[in-house]
Amino acid sequence: MKELLELIEKDARRPADELAAMLHRSEYEVQNQMKQLEKDKIILSYNTLINWEKFGENTVTSIIEVNLTPQREVGFDAIAERIYRFDEVRTVYLMSGSFDLLVIIEGKSLQEVANFVATRLSTIEGVTQTRSHFMLKPYKKDGIIIEDKEKDRRLVMTP
């Protein structure tokens, strides 16, 4: 199953018959394994990585370091759950080091992101401090190079 997961992690659009051939299994077996992996919540979602800037849509992405006061008996989990339920929040990680949670949010403007942090995130009971960092330009995301300029570096050969 690990080989199947590795293949679809790199390209979730690969058809079952192609996966079956690559894994030397039947298409039926691959389809059943995928259904089971989805049922067991090992496969959580099939996502598409889109270069929205190239499409003409601009969003502002911010990484926010959050310090917390853990709650008795539940630690950081209850606060993390409140945070990850906001629509603006894309990612939440419990961290080691100088802050407790790493929160990644997206908004339509710098003002929208700042307003979210000031009025919704910072006001949650248990949040003691936030530090925001705004992403300026993506070069690589989820293992995918956003704009590969490598081919532009080749010399043109003429006869």
**Can you give the pLDDT at residue 47?**
85
**Can you give the pLDDT at residue 152?**
55
Q: Tell me which residue has tokens 């939440």.
A: 92
**Can you give the pLDDT at residue 153?**
58
Query: So what CATH class is 52-138?
Result: alpha beta
**Can you give the pLDDT at residue 51?**
82
Task: Specify the long-range contacts of residues 82-89, CB closer than 8 Å, at least 24 apart.
Answer: 82/124, 83/121, 83/124, 86/116, 86/120, 86/121, 88/113, 88/116
**Can you give the pLDDT at residue 156?**
63
**Can you give the pLDDT at residue 69?**
94
**Can you give the pLDDT at residue 158?**
66
Domain spans in the chain, listed from the N-terminal domain onward: 2-39, 52-138
- CA distance to 45, 53, 70, per residue, from 31 (Å): 16, 35, 43
- CA distance to 33, 82, 96, 99, per residue, from 102 (Å): 33, 14, 10, 8
**Can you give the pLDDT at residue 54?**
84
pLDDT below 70 — which residues of the chain? 150-159
Q: Tell me which residue has tokens 């990585």.
A: 49
Question: Are 30 and 16 within 8 A, CB to CB?
Answer: yes
- CA distance to 2, 9, 25, per residue, from 15 (Å): 17, 13, 13
**Can you give the pLDDT at residue 76?**
94
